[in-house]
Amino acid sequence: MNSLITSIDHIQITAPPNSEEEARGFYGEILGMTEIPKPENLQGRGGCWFQIGAQEVHIGIQEDFLPAKKAHPGFTVNALETLKLRLEKANYSIQEDAPINGRTRFFTNDPFGNRIEFLAFDY
């Protein structure tokens, strides 16, 4: 059966109310994602959006927020050790994990406690 899905447009990560500046600091400044404007009709909901290549990461505000402890996005990185050092310098803890299928990886938590994975291909 052929898939009708052709790609991932975006992922949404939730955050607590009034946390947009922290999201910009982590996803924008530390991770280097480019913030993009939210559509005008969605701006009243809070949150902020970022772009990575053709995909987007939406940080959505959730009143009864609970961080994702197991579910997580996995971001491919071209300089894994550099990112690891940048995160450690900003006081984010790193959780190493075994490589999988030729990819080195580690986890951290965003400022809201959401689990985030970073991977680099071992070429």
Q: Are 109 and 93 in contact (CB under 8 A)?
A: yes
Instruction: Give me 71's structure tokens.
Output: 């579910």
Cβ partners under 8 Å of residue 17, min gap 6: 46, 61, 63, 65
Q: What is the per-residue pLDDT across 21-47, written as a single tens digit (0 to 9) for each? A: 999 999 999 999 999 999 999 999 999
Superfamily in which the 10-121 domain is placed by CATH? 2,3-Dihydroxybiphenyl 1,2-Dioxygenase, domain 1 (3.10.180.10)
Ordered by start, the domain boundaries in the chain are 10-121
Q: pTM of the prediction?
A: 0.93
- pLDDT tens figures, 45-90: 999 999 999 999 999 999 999 999 999 999 999 999 999 999 999 9
**Does 123 score more than 80 pLDDT?**
no
